[in-house]
Amino acid sequence: MNKGTYKNFNGETVEFNYESELSLSQKANFVMEVAGMIVSGTIGYAYILKEAIFNYCLVKYFTDIVLFENDEDFSLDMIDAFMKGNRETVIDTITKAMGEDAFNELSKACDEAIEFRKAHFSDYKEEISDLLQLVREFVVKPDYLNELLIALTNAVNSFADKGDIDMDVVNKLVDVLPVMKELGSKEVAKAIVEEFHQNTPTENVEEKPKAKRGRPKKDNNLEVVK
């Protein structure tokens, strides 16, 4: 374990410990966290944050410095201020300890993960999951017909500008709308659930960590209809 010093947000000089390398699992978590914060459903592709988030993860994974005690305290401005005041004492110290090859490998892995996430990221899986949950509730409480119709309409409309969606899913949703408007019965909702389960393969999708907080998230399995 190596030692160094940095200035905290109060301007005080504080000692910290840092590592010169990460384990394979730590590297994987590092890359996933950077990519997850740069490409998200909240802000899309945040190119402007690439350097700041990468440096934030260097501090988080290589040192015992705790920038934020709680997720609610997370602040991009505070990260920026910390990096400006500690670039030489913290960031440069870490990168020198890592070595050029290890640094370049980690940087390249993050860039490739970001590019992959940009090409494959889509948030419609969550919309489908929410929609199916509403259908199941409608089976129990038929009065939810209006809410179901709204959810169906919003889901279809949200797919309009997405180029990587499964058109079979969209077509099924489009076909459902006029039927629901005409019939509005409990049996229709049951038929929808049966149709989705019988004709559409499902898979468990691991939800990626939300980018905002920069903290590892627990995995949630969502049943997604493609």
CB-based burial label for 194 (10 Å; 0-12, 13-18, 19+): exposed
| 209 — pLDDT class (breaks 50, 70, 90) | very low
Q: Report residue 163: phi and psi, to 5°.
A: -95, -10
Q: What is the mean pLDDT of the chain?
A: 75
pLDDT digits (tens, 9 = 90+) for 151-193: 666 665 555 555 555 556 555 555 555 555 555 455 555 555 5
In this model, does residue 206 exceed pLDDT 50?
no
| 217 — pLDDT class (breaks 50, 70, 90) | very low
Residue 170 confidence (pLDDT):
53
Q: How far is CA 116 from CA 5, 137, 154, in A?
A: 37, 36, 27
Instruction: Transcribe 66-127 into DSSP letters.
Output: -S-SSGGG--HHHHHHHHHHHIIIIIHHHHHHH-HHHHHHHHHHHHHHHHHHHHH--SHHHH
| 14 — pLDDT class (breaks 50, 70, 90) | very high
pTM of the entire structure? 0.56
In the chain, % of residues over pLDDT 70: 53
What is residue 183's three-state secondary structure? coil
Residue 221 confidence (pLDDT):
45
In this model, does residue 30 exceed pLDDT 70?
yes
| 118 — pLDDT class (breaks 50, 70, 90) | confident
In this model, does residue 207 exceed pLDDT 50?
no
Q: Which of 86-90, 132-136, 158-162, 205-209 has the highest mean pLDDT?
A: 86-90
Residue 22 confidence (pLDDT):
93
pLDDT digits (tens, 9 = 90+) for 65-117: 999 988 888 899 999 999 999 999 999 999 999 999 999 999 999 999 999 98
Q: Which of 38-42, 87-91, 115-119, 201-205 has the lowest mean pLDDT?
A: 201-205
**Residue 202 bridge partners (DSSP):** 225
Q: How far is CA 163 from CA 124, 151, 168, in A?
A: 11, 21, 13
